[in-house]
Every structure is written in structure tokens, then in C-alpha cells.
Structure 1
Amino acid sequence: MKARAVTLAFCTMLAASCTTTPQVSFDADPNANFSHFRTYSWAYTSAPQGTNPLLSQRVKSSIDSALAARGYTQADPGDFAIGFTLGARNRVEVSSLGAYGPYYRPWGGWGGGFNQVDVRNVTDGTLTIDIYDTATKAAVWNGQATQQVTTDQIPQEKVDIAVNAVLAKFPPPPAGAK
């Protein structure tokens, strides 16, 4: 019984930890030359319409810090321009623990059990960062992070985690490199 409680607690902690790590994806132009990128500028200076301007400031500050830590400097114009968008999507998450929920009936037999179903509304927040080559004005890189968020204020620490997770994929490895 004690082993079952420890296993259940571990699975709960594992499931909770999965929701705090953003899922990251990226796409890059295979013909783009990222090796000459040393400076950057912002594709736009004001917060996109419809977004929280304070959250936009936190994201912009986090991107500035992440790029500075990687040796990029801000210039006007830069070698590349950077922009970002923020989004949120609500979804319903349904999970079932089976006919008896978390309880085990070792005596077996017939009898009515119960089916424990957990239904909850969750919000997935998405941060998308786009990078454009200022010489060609073409999009060369796109990165995206998605994770569950609350509708309350998103603290700087969570913004930094998402920004660093996305920018960890920039610049992409050269073609043919592993």
C-alpha cells in the first residue's frame, strides 16, 4: 500500500512538472546564412494591438537579455530584425482514472464501482519569435514555445524560461551538422 502511494505521488509530481516545461519547435530557411548575424534591431517598437503591453515589455526585455548573453548587440539597423507574437488558446482537458479511480479492489468480484472523471479548462500560452534578414527582408527563422499558463499575471521568470527555450534553437545548426 505504501509503495502504491509513493508511485501515485511520483506520477502526480511528474505530470505537474511536464506542464511547466514549454514545448518548443522551430523552423529555419535552409539557405539562410546565419554566420554573419552579429547585430539585431526590432521589427516594431510598440506592443502588438490586443496584447498586454506590460507582458510585451517583459518579453522584449527577456529577448534583449537572452541575445546580449549570446553576444548579439542591438543596432539600427541590425543584421537581423526580430519580432514576437503572444497568443492563448483555451481547451478542455478530460482524464479518467478508470472504473475504480485510484482505488484498487484486491478482492475482485462483482459490484458497482465508480468512474472518476476529471474535467478542467486549461489555457495554452504561445510565444512565437520571428527573425528576418534585414538585407533581404526575408523571414529566415521562426521559433515557438507553448505551455499551460494561468490567466493571471505571467511573472518575468516564466517569460524568461519561454524566451530562453525558444532562443536555444537560434541560430540553427549549419546544414549537415548534428
Structure 2
Amino acid sequence: MRTAVVFPGLMVCVALLAGCTATAPSRVRVDQAEGGLPNCKTFAWIPTPQQPATLTEQRVKTEVLAKLKEKGYSEAEKADCRVTYVLDVHERPKNKPSVGVGAGGGSGGIGGGIGVSLPIGKRNEQAGTFTIDIVDAAKNAQVWSGSLDATFAKAELNEDEAREIVAKVLERYPDRAPN
């Protein structure tokens, strides 16, 4: 009969290393003015410099206004609140170097090993932070901000990415109370 010997310290190290490689799912971060949100009924975009609108800008604006309308708000030129967004995208390597640790036993012996994986090739992805800011038009002060870290197929958002990311961020913005 063979008996396996387990080293508690080794098992703890393996568990810690495994825990370090896991990534937490992205979640929306919200920050709000201490005085609370103003009684916004209408929204408009903060004017941007006279440059041609990018495809991402057009898609995000369409999705934000659609989502705010679903929540009971409307669009107006002289709005109670103004909205803007920031999309900070950068390229990052998709394949990262990784390290693996293993331990085992058999045939009367105990063995272990460490392996290292180095990616070859240039497969990169676009990663960034998407933020929507709400500004009280009367006070000209930011009153709400929601942001989310995400990865994208390209630096330019497609319609599905814009719809998904806007919905996720504005899910945390309150619905308008009926009059």
C-alpha cells in the first residue's frame, strides 16, 4: 500500500497562485454629488468642438438618449441636465505570460513542477474605460458619473458594443420619478 504525503505549505502556495491569476468581472463604478441628483427632467449633450462626429460618438449618443428616454427623461435644447461621455481606449497584449505550479505523487515519490508560458505573436485587444457624466445645467457642476472598464474588438465601438456598454452604465442611473 502506498501513501501520498501532502505538504500543507505547498498546497497553500498553489491555492494563492491560482487565486492571483483570476480576474474579477468588470462592474460599474458610480460617483454622485453629495447633495444628490438634481430634478432632471430633460437632457442635452454638452456641446463639443466643431469637428466631424466619429462613428463611436454617433452610436454612443444615440444609445444614451434612447436609454434615458426609457428611464422617463426627454431631450431638450435648454435641458435641466447635460450629458457627456469619455472613452479612453488603449491597446494591450491579449496573451500574457503565465506561470503554472503543480504537485503530485506516485510510485512512492513526490514530484512538483513549474511551467512558464510565453506568448508568441502580436494578438492584441483594445481595452479601456467608458465613462458617462451628468452635469446640472443650472449649477454647471457634475452631479453623477458612471464608468466601466471593458475590452473591445477595435478602438471604434460597433453598434452592439455601444448599446451594451451604455446600457450597463446607465442601469445604475435612477429612473425618473413620475410627476
TM-score range, shorter chain: 0.5 to 0.7
AA in 2 matched with 1:149: F
Deviation of 1:112 (Å):
8.3
* Identical counterparts, % of pairs: 28
**1:65 Cα deviation from its structure 2 partner:** 0.7
Gaps of 5+ in 2: 1-21
Residue 59, structure 1, aligned to residue 60, structure 2: yes
The code of the aligned residue for 1:128 comes to T
Deviation at 1:99, TM superposition (A): 3.6
Contact 1:125 1:147 in 2 (8 A): yes
Query: Higher helix fraction: Structure 1 or Structure 2?
Result: 1
Aligned residues: 149
Query: Which one-letter code corresponds to 1:107 in the other structure?
Result: G
Q: TM-score, normalised by structure 1?
A: 0.67
SS in 2 for 1:56: helix
Find the counterpart in structure 2 of residue 176 from structure 1.
Answer: none
Cα shift at 1:107: 3.0
Cα distance in 2, alignment partners of residues 165 and 155 from structure 1: 16
Structure-1 residue corresponding to 2:142: 139
Q: Which runs of structure 2 are paired with 1:76-91 in the superposition (5 Å)?
A: 76-91=77-92
- Post-superposition offset of 1:59: 0.6
1:44-67 deviation digits (Å, cap 9, x = unpaired): 256879xx8001111111101101
In structure 2, C-alpha distance between the alignment counterparts of 1:144 and 1:154, rounded to whole Å: 16
1:159 alignment counterpart:
162
In 2, the alpha carbon distance for the partners of 1:106 and 1:153 equals 51
Structure 1 gaps of 5+ residues are 1-14, 173-178
Measured after TM superposition, the shift of residue 170 of structure 1 is: 1.2
Q: The residue matched to 2:83 in structure 1 has which SS?
A: strand
Whichever structure has more strand as a proportion of its residues is 2
> What is the CA-CA distance between 1:115 and the residue it aligns to?
0.7
Q: Are the counterparts in 2 of residues 132 and 140 from structure 1 also a CA contact under 8 Å?
A: yes
Query: 1:128-150, CA deviations, whole angstroms, 9 ceiling, x for partnerless residues?
Result: 11111111111111111111222
Residue 124 in structure 1 maps to residue 123 in structure 2: no
From the superposition, tell whether residues 56 and 22 of structure 1 become closer, same or farther in structure 2 (CA, over 3 Å): farther
TM-score under structure 2 normalisation? Answer: 0.67
Tell me which residue corresponds to 1:28: 32
Task: Report the Cα offset of residue 158 of structure 1.
Answer: 1.7
Pair 1:116–1:156, CA change in 2 (3 A): same
Contact persistence 2:104–2:112 (CA under 8 A): no
Larger radius of gyration: 2
Do the aligned partners of residues 81 and 69 (structure 1) sit closer, same or farther apart at CA in structure 2, a change above 3 Å counting?
same
Distance 1:123 1:57 in 2: 19
Between the aligned partners of 2:61 and 2:50, the Cα distance in structure 1 is 9
Question: 1:76 offset after TM fit, Å?
Answer: 1.2
